[in-house]
Amino acid sequence: MDFDLTDDQRLLKDSVDRLIADRYDFEQRKKARTEKDGWSRAMWAQFAELGLLGLPFAEEHGGFGGGPVETMIVMEAFGRGLVLEPFLATVILGGGLVRRLGSAAQQDALLPQVAAGKLLLAFAHVERFSRYDLSDVQATATRAGDGWVLNGEKSVVLHGDCADKLLVTARTAGGRHDRAGIGLFLVDAAAAGVSRKGYATQDGLRAAEVAFANAPAEAVLGDPGGALPGVERVVDEAIAAICAEAVGLMQCMHDITVDYMKTRQQFGRAIGSFQVLQHRSVDMLVALEQARSMAMFATMMAADEDETIRRRSVSAAKVQIGRSGRHVGQEAVQLHGGIAMTMEYKVGHYFKRMTMLEMLFGDADTHQKIVSEMGSLF
Amino acid sequence: MDLNFTPEEIAFRDECRRFFRQEFPEAIRRKVLEGQHLTREEIVTSHRLLNARGWATPNWPKEWGGQDWSPVQLYFYQDEMQQAGVPSPLGFNTSMVGPVIAQFGNLATKERFLAKTANLDIWWCQGFSEPGAGSDLAGLRTRAERRGDTWVINGQKTWTTLAQHADWIFVLCRTDPAAKKQEGISFILAPMDTPGITRRPIQTIDGGHEVNEIFFDDVVVPAENLVGEVNKGWDYAKFLLGNERTGIARVGFSKARLKRIRELASLEHVGSHRIIDDPKFREKLSAVEIELKALEMTQLRVVAGDRKRDKGKPDPASSILKLKGSQIQQTSTELLMEVVGPYVMPFAMSDEGSGRNETGYGPDYAAGAAPAYFNTRKVSIYGGSNEIQRNIIAKAILGF
Ligand SMILES: Cc1cc2nc3c(=O)[nH]c(=O)nc-3n(C[C@H](O)[C@H](O)[C@H](O)COP(=O)(O)OP(=O)(O)OC[C@H]3O[C@@H](n4cnc5c(N)ncnc54)[C@H](O)[C@@H]3O)c2cc1C
């Protein structure tokens, strides 16, 4: 085991860190939010130029050939920047699904475009009643001639409003909760029968409600009745990625809080001179380090071929991230006092993003249940 | 010791319940119970409905519109009101400036303000905190100088809740810069439309607008706007902050919120079963209920002790109520969010901050959940942060 980064990884880290430090401060982010998509196309082009949009893809697909550690490095930096762009939706989820489920021809057609920043993807999966259960799918896909048509509604599709193409789970057979009978379909967002309602999310990013009324699918990815295992695998990879993002958020909340404690004066001295507050910031650090460790664990295990080990490990990490994130977020606000309750101050935005990541793909209790039902971690 | 309520007390509780649930506008109550923000008009309407019955200011001296209720009666009044979703009368009027004027103001000040304050003909806001004076309130720097028959105020206040609706502000000002911190402060009243007062809204993280910054630039008010004596403002402020006794823990409010969580948990499903049927969830919910029950009993003990207490002197036990009460409020919003699930994500607040999902993303109760969680972080910050409450308990109860 070696916790040190390789030279190439260090290079990647330096360049992403520099990009976030130079081009992604709070004011720049605020401005990007007012752009048409709610994020910056110019920034997206920069990501493409740095090779980030092809980060996990093979070199023949215009990719960087990076593994889970590379994803972790980038996601942590994006957490620090509170990045608005659809990296998770397009590269990790969309790209991941194409990689894991698509045919060689489909990968050749789609991935290079994603890597070049010319194609935005989104993963349309959650439904009104499915909550965090990946096998709960009611949208349907039915055969029509050579192809498929989709019917149903998908909820809280991350960056679904700006996506060019949607990767949609739909049932081709079986009952509502059956693991078998779920397919993954590629649908052009502009196709007839697709309607979208985009909105801002609590953390300032974007999502959409998407409805399909006899919408034609462009393609099916993989076995039309057997997509679930692949989908689960990609979601696990995405969870590992957002664990890393959450570590970036927590790190920033902790740094900002400690800085503030050293400068904020009350009763004629810095509030950081109160030992009781020092201890609170120490407990935040402990929570952060536990989370960082588990984010690394998730990174290590997300590609494990053994499904049980992979699920259990990733869920364990999600539990830790959820609990640590809630603690660090709440304490960051509390130790600041009133200032942290305002939109004008940065820390509240970290707190909100952290809260959304805590809920995304299942909150801590949901994953706690998964871990406890899958036996011991040791 | 008799731990039962008397028949008279029970009868009083039932009368509160009947009035709040049967005579009070249903539409307003529903908005409160669903966690939506009220408009200025709705707040005024409901406050005046209470006042019409003499129930906006039961804690005031009887001659100025109070009810002379026992502490238990006051407790039931508040508990039933909060459980029914009836908005509490505006606290700045009824538990802050009103009691201060009634206790320390001269007759002219009382006659000028008390009736209008009770009826919300004047909407007051609280000008205490400053950018540099939060927990250390006595460090405030806004100055008032005596010039002839007037006070001239210069400085800045912040976090001023609902100042956008206010007609008047009560301001703590430094009137003797040479005196010890606490000894040179006065309590002065100013109309919000006085030239030199400007207001800047502050948006909170839930997207709402409930706080403001207020700037004072050579603001001139008549000398008679001073309440009580000059340089005694700190005593009045302490009286004011210690005055809010039984309501501080918001037990009734938390009861209503837990009830709502229980209802929503029977609407939302995980797989094929309702969330409320999940034993883990029920345990979590009942754990909060146990805490709340304990707090209710603690509150009743504190309330009962009130009979023997020197009125107007802050009781450090109220710090226990504030501490625990705020924690329970915060935990409940976490549960609320967990029940709602993925649909906490859409940010659906309108400019008015209605907190209601009018745009049709998911169930209509979803939109308020995350904003409630974010917003409720304030309850352990304002009115003396939880750290300050612990300091008070350590000093005043434990003698450290
Ligand atoms: C939503 C909201 C509404 C408000 N409404 C009003 C209003 O209407 N009118 C008004 O006048 N004010 C209002 N306030 C202000 C509120 O009372 C202050 O925010 C509060 O007093 C804390 O001050 P601060 O925010 O400056 O934090 P600070 O005092 O700077 O505190 C920062 C942190 O340090 C801690 N700390 C400070 N001193 C100590 C100590 N000695 N020991 C241990 N820990 C300490 C605090 O607990 C906190 O965690 C409001 C605040 C909020 C958030």
Cβ(A338) – ligand 1 distance below 6 Å = yes
Total residue count of chain B as it appears in this document: 400
Confidence at residue B197, expressed as pLDDT on a 0 to 100 scale: 98
Residue nearest to atom 45 of ligand 1 (CA): B387
Class of domain A229-374: mainly alpha
Cβ(A132) – ligand 1 distance below 6 Å = no
User: Do B148 and B166 belong to one domain?
Assistant: yes
- Would B105 be classed as within a structural domain? no
Domain end (from B237, B271, B290): B237
* Token pair listed for B365: 């109760």
User: Do B233 and B261 belong to one domain?
Assistant: no
Residue B300 vs residue A343, higher pLDDT: A343
Give the A window 207-226 contacts with B, CB below 8 Å: 207, 209
Answer for the pair B345, A356: CB distance below 8 angstroms, yes or no.
Answer: yes
User: Do B203 and B310 belong to one domain?
Assistant: no
Domain end (from B185, B220, B237): B237
Answer for the pair B94, B57: CB distance below 8 angstroms, yes or no.
Answer: yes
Domain end (from B204, B220, B237): B237
Residue B308 vs residue B288, higher pLDDT: B288
Number of the ligand 1 atom closest to the C-alpha atom of B128: 11
B159 C-alpha to ligand 1 centroid (Å): 9
Answer for the pair B222, B149: CB distance below 8 angstroms, yes or no.
Answer: yes
Residues of B known to be catalytic: 244
Average pLDDT, chain A: 97
Confidence at residue B35, expressed as pLDDT on a 0 to 100 scale: 87
Architecture in CATH for domain A122-226: Beta Barrel (2.40)
User: Do B187 and B292 belong to one domain?
Assistant: no
Q: Are strands B124-127 and B168-174 parallel, antiparallel or unpaired?
A: parallel
Taking the Cβ of residue A334 and every Cβ of chain B, the question of whether any pair is shorter than 8 Å is answered with: yes
The CA–CA distances, whole Å, from B103 to A63, A285, B51, B228, B292 equal 75, 48, 20, 9, 33
B354 pLDDT exceeds 80? no
* Token pair listed for A167: 């990767």
Q: Which of B381, B386, B387, B391 to mutate to test the pocket of ligand 1 (most atoms within 8 A of CB)?
A: B381
Q: Are strands A165-171 and A121-124 parallel, antiparallel or unpaired?
A: parallel
* Token pair listed for B387: 């750290």
Q: Residue A198's beta-bridge partner residues? A: A208
Average pLDDT, chain B: 93
What residue type is assigned to position B99 of the chain? P
What pLDDT band is residue B363 in, cutting at 50, 70 and 90? confident
B379 C-alpha to ligand 1 centroid (Å): 10
The shortest CB-CB distance from A337 to any of B134, B284, B341 is to B134
- Would B102 be classed as within a structural domain? no
The alpha-carbon gap from B122 to the nearest alpha carbon of chain A, in Å, equals 27
CATH number at residue B390: 1.20.140.10
- Would B261 be classed as within a structural domain? yes
Separation between Cα atoms, residue B220 and residue B44, nearest integer Å? 29
What pLDDT band is residue B312 in, cutting at 50, 70 and 90? low
B326 C-alpha to ligand 1 centroid (Å): 14
What's the domain count of chain B? 3
Gyration radius of chain A over CA positions: 21
Answer for the pair A356, A203: CB distance below 8 angstroms, yes or no.
Answer: yes
Share above pLDDT 70 across residues of chain B, in percent, rounded to a whole number: 94
Separation between Cα atoms, residue B199 and residue B286, nearest integer Å? 44
Separation between Cα atoms, residue A257 and residue B207, nearest integer Å? 22
Confidence at residue B292, expressed as pLDDT on a 0 to 100 scale: 98
Report which of A250, A260, A243, A233 is spatially closest to residue A345, judged by C-alpha positions: A260
Answer for the pair A206, A37: CB distance below 8 angstroms, yes or no.
Answer: yes
Answer for the pair B71, B304: CB distance below 8 angstroms, yes or no.
Answer: yes
Confidence at residue B244, expressed as pLDDT on a 0 to 100 scale: 64
User: Do B391 and B267 belong to one domain?
Assistant: yes
- Would B1 be classed as within a structural domain? no
Separation between Cα atoms, residue A6 and residue A354, nearest integer Å? 29
Per-10-residue mean pLDDT for chain A, 378 residues long?
92 97 95 96 97 96 95 98 98 98 98 98 96 96 96 98 98 96 98 97 97 98 98 98 98 98 98 98 98 98 93 98 98 98 98 98 97 92
Separation between Cα atoms, residue A298 and residue A320, nearest integer Å? 11
Give the model confidence (pLDDT) of A320-344 as tens digits: 999 999 999 999 999 999 999 999 9
B352 pLDDT exceeds 60? no
Cβ neighbours of B337 in A, within 8 Å: 355, 359
Distance of CA A373 to the CA centre of its chain: 25
User: Do B388 and B253 belong to one domain?
Assistant: yes
Complex ipTM, two decimals? Answer: 0.97
Mean pLDDT of B344-355: 65
- Would B113 be classed as within a structural domain? no
Distance of CA B251 to the CA centre of its chain: 13
Burial of B377 per CB tally in 10 Å (0-12, 13-18, 19+): buried
Asked if CATH classification 1.10.540.10 holds for the domain at A7-119, the reply, yes or no, is yes
Separation between Cα atoms, residue A271 and residue A265, nearest integer Å? 6
Q: Residue B185's beta-bridge partner residues? A: B174
Residues B394-398: contacts with CB within 8 Å, 24+ apart? B396/B316, B396/B319, B397/B316, B397/B317
Separation between Cα atoms, residue B88 and residue B68, nearest integer Å? 19
Q: Which of B382, B386, B390 to mutate to test the pocket of ligand 1 (most atoms within 8 A of CB)?
A: B382
* Token pair listed for B300: 């009743």
CATH number at residue B161: 2.40.110.10
What pLDDT band is residue B304 in, cutting at 50, 70 and 90? confident
In three-state form (DSSP H/G/I as H, E/B as E, the rest C), the secondary structure along chain A is: CCCCCCHHHHHHHHHHHHHHHHHCCHHHHHHHHCCCCCCCHHHHHHHHHCCHHHCCCCHHHCCCCCCHHHHHHHHHHHHHHCCCCCHHHHHHHHHHHHHHHCCHHHHHHHHHHHHCCCCCEEEECCCCCCCCCCCCCCCEEEEECCEEEEEEEEEEEECCCCCCEEEEEEECCCCCCCCCCEEEEEEECCCCCEEEEEEEECCCCEEEEEEEEEEECCEEECCCCECHHHHHHHHHHHHHHHHHHHHHHHHHHHHHHHHHHHHCEECCEEHHHCHHHHHHHHHHHHHHHHHHHHHHHHHHHCCCCCHHHHHHHHHHHHHHHHHHHHHHHHHHHHHHCHHHHECCCHHHHHHHHHHHHHHCCCCHHHHHHHHHHCCCCC
Answer for the pair B192, B178: CB distance below 8 angstroms, yes or no.
Answer: no
The alpha-carbon gap from B293 to the nearest alpha carbon of chain A, in Å, equals 25
Q: Are strands B168-174 and B185-191 parallel, antiparallel or unpaired?
A: antiparallel
Residue nearest to atom 38 of ligand 1 (CA): B135
Residue A220, Ramachandran bin (φ over 0: left; ψ between -120 and 50: alpha; else beta): beta
Taking the Cβ of residue A365 and every Cβ of chain B, the question of whether any pair is shorter than 8 Å is answered with: yes
Separation between Cα atoms, residue B88 and residue B95, nearest integer Å? 11
Contact assignment for B342 to A202 by CB distance below 8 Å: no
Q: Residue A122's beta-bridge partner residues? A: A166
User: Do B201 and B81 belong to one domain?
Assistant: no
Residue B310 vs residue A268, higher pLDDT: A268
CATH number at residue B64: 1.10.540.10
Give the model confidence (pLDDT) of B255-291 as tens digits: 999 999 999 999 998 888 999 999 999 999 999 999 9
- Structure-derived torsion over alpha carbons of residues A124, A93, A158, A116, reported in degrees to the nearest 10: -110
Burial of B240 per CB tally in 10 Å (0-12, 13-18, 19+): buried
* Token pair listed for A113: 């475009």
Range of the domain at B280: 245-396
User: Do B253 and B391 belong to one domain?
Assistant: yes
B315 pLDDT exceeds 90? no
Give the model confidence (pLDDT) of A356-371 as tens digits: 999 999 999 999 999 9
User: Do B318 and B366 belong to one domain?
Assistant: yes
